[in-house]
Structure 1
Amino acid sequence: MRTLPSEPVYSTAVAVGKTIFGGLGLKRIVTGAENIPATGGAILAITHFGYMDFALTEWMVWDRTRRRVRFMAKKGAFDKPVVGWLLRGMKHISVDMSAGAEAYSKAIVALKAGEMIGVFPEAGVNTSFTVRELKTGTVRMAAEAGVPVIPIAVWGGHRLLTKGRKPTLREAFRTPIRYTVGEPIHVDASSDVRESTLALRVTMQALLDEAQASYPADGNGAWWQPAHLGGTAPTPEEAAIAEAERQKRKAAEAARK
């Protein structure tokens, strides 16, 4: 295994994360880890149902490949004093949702340099716990940089911390975290971006279906289970309406400042 240059902030963050997750007794179940490339640029396209998805993915990837993932994260996170310092120290990429060209360019440079970039193509936490419409950036970056997309479904991480729910130790303790990693997807530069993005969404939903079907906990009637599987989570339509209302309130608050 190759020797990586020292990155104290990243190494410390990984060690702290492993200690916390280990203390919680989280049970990882991974299928398809062999699909994560050992070297070279690649994009990890990950489902996004909870705020710990990035850390849980880093934990899994690091343990299996000793590779560092550079996540594309919203600028708001970088603006927070301690969190921002940590994100910059780990060389994650800040994304201004109103002007994403700079982040896109940085990601392309990193991919061509052989880095692994983590993205959440749904562009935000999705509380319906199904894969909603994806942004096209993942496919466009893969085509431009000439790197594969590795689709990943993470199921169970939202039980630790997600939008609109207060975290509890009881919910988090010994929670199973199910990962399904799909085969690399190669996007040709001549491919139709929207068709390729739709195909990626279908693949990610299939991986999620697999993760949910094999999840070792009964979610019937549970808040963390999607409606179509007997849970009480909002339907995709309900979640979309709630998110639109949240964005409207957020815009109104910003206008008052």
Structure 2
Amino acid sequence: MDRTYRVVNRIFATLFAAMGYRFDVRGIEHIPATGAGVLAGNHIGFLDFTFIGYAARERDRLVRFMAKRSVFEARLAGWFMRKMRHIPVDRRQGWRAYRQGLRLIDEGELVGVFPEATISRSWLLKPFKRGAAGLAVSRQVPLVPVVVWGGHRIYTVDGHRSLRRRVPITVSIGEPLIPGEGESIDELSARLHIAMEGLLDEAIGTYPATPRNDSDRWWMPHDRGGTAPDRETAAILDREAVARIGDTFE
């Protein structure tokens, strides 16, 4: 079962090894070994879901990610995404993805969600959509915070891509958040944001690489000496990008 997903995992693992990417996976024990749950990840690059999925292999879990609809419309990539039971998201009909996520949770699956919805150009957390917390509250399953750091140096928005070898990639997984009795979606989402802020701050602070020169400071947040835009400026850039690409998202 899930043969296609496992083959794709092996392919990515081989590619990552060939590129010499140096993974530092922290807190892998927090991913449930069995049963349903929601993994909520930050979004800084196009390969975030592959890095989180790569980490989850250590627990022998396959994560069904919510991803933009346009990926599913590509002939080859779409076929693989559907075979791996990932979830297409259409901005105009988000309820369809939400309903599919609930069905997968009811089947005991792990559903991966990026609550920021689009890539953060500041590399810091944006305000969250309610979907991740909503799934967890609706089915009373663990909500697991996850952050990736370093992966944006490989492939992200605004033309940033690199074939540089041996890039360090941190994947940090926090303790599962269990929805409390009577806890609202917004309350759980706020707890998630706090947990992910802490994980991201630690991941950035302990990352084993620094920019090589001034032109390489683009991948560091503005408050860490980088040239990434601050949150307010990044929010404007994000809105402009969404306006350009219509109902798809990064």
User: What TM-score, normalized by structure 1, do the two folds share?
Assistant: 0.91
Match of 2:84 among 72, 81, 90: 90
C-alpha distance in structure 1 between counterparts of 2:113 and 2:181, whole Å: 20
Note the C-alpha offset of 1:13. Answer: 0.6
Q: Which residue of 1 aligns with 2:194?
A: 202
- In the alignment, the residues of structure 1 paired with residue 3 and residue 191 of structure 2 have an alpha-carbon distance, to the nearest angstrom, of 38
Bigger drift between 157-166 and 115-124 goes to: 157-166
Q: Which runs of 5 or more residues in structure 2 are unaligned? A: none
Q: Does 1:191 align with 2:183?
A: yes
2:206 aligned residue: 214
The CA distance in 2 between the partners of 1:66 and 1:247, in whole Å, is 36
Aligned residues: 244
CA distance in 1, matches of 2:176, 2:36: 12
TM-fit CA distance, 1:112: 1.8
The match for 2:102 is: 108
Deviations 1:202-239 (A, max 9, x none): 11111000101110011485111110100111111111
Equivalent residue, structure 1, for 2:67: 73
In the TM superposition, what whole-angstrom CA distance separates every residue of 1:161-209 from its partner, at most 9, and x where no partner exists? Answer: 0001242212xx1000112111010113621222221221111111000
Query: Percent of counterpart pairs with the same letter?
Result: 38
For residues 151 and 123 of structure 2, what CA distance do their matches in structure 1 show? 11
Q: Is contact 1:144–1:189 with CA below 8 Å preserved after alignment?
A: no
Corresponding letter in the other structure for 1:210 = E
- Runs of 5+ unmatched residues, structure 1: 1-5, 253-257
The DSSP-based 3-state class of the residue aligned with 1:37 is coil
Deviation at 1:8, TM superposition (A): 2.3
Q: Give CA deviations for 1:107-127 in whole Å, capped at 9, x if unaligned.
A: 111112110111101001111
Q: 1:143-154 counterparts in 2 under 5 A?
A: 143-154=137-148
- Contact 1:52–1:157 (CA<8 Å) still a contact in 2? yes
CA distance in 2: counterparts of 1:145 and 1:177, whole angstroms:
32
**What is the aligned partner in structure 1 of residue 93 from structure 2?**
99
Q: Which residue of 2 aligns with 1:46?
A: 41
**Aligned positions of 1:1-257 closer than 5 A:** 6-62=1-57, 64-170=58-164, 173-188=165-180, 190-219=182-211, 221=214, 222-251=217-246
RMSD, aligned CA: 1.5
TM-score by length of 2: 0.94
Offset from partner CA, 1:72-124 (integer Å, 9 cap, x none): 11111111111111100111011111111121111111112110111101001
Contact 1:154–1:178 (8 Å) recurs in 2? yes
Q: Quick one: distance in 1 between partners of 2:172 and 2:194? A: 14
Give the conservation status (yes or no) of the 8 Å contact 2:153–2:160.
no
CA distance in 2, matches of 1:130, 1:193: 22
Report the AA paired with residue 201 of structure 1.
Answer: H
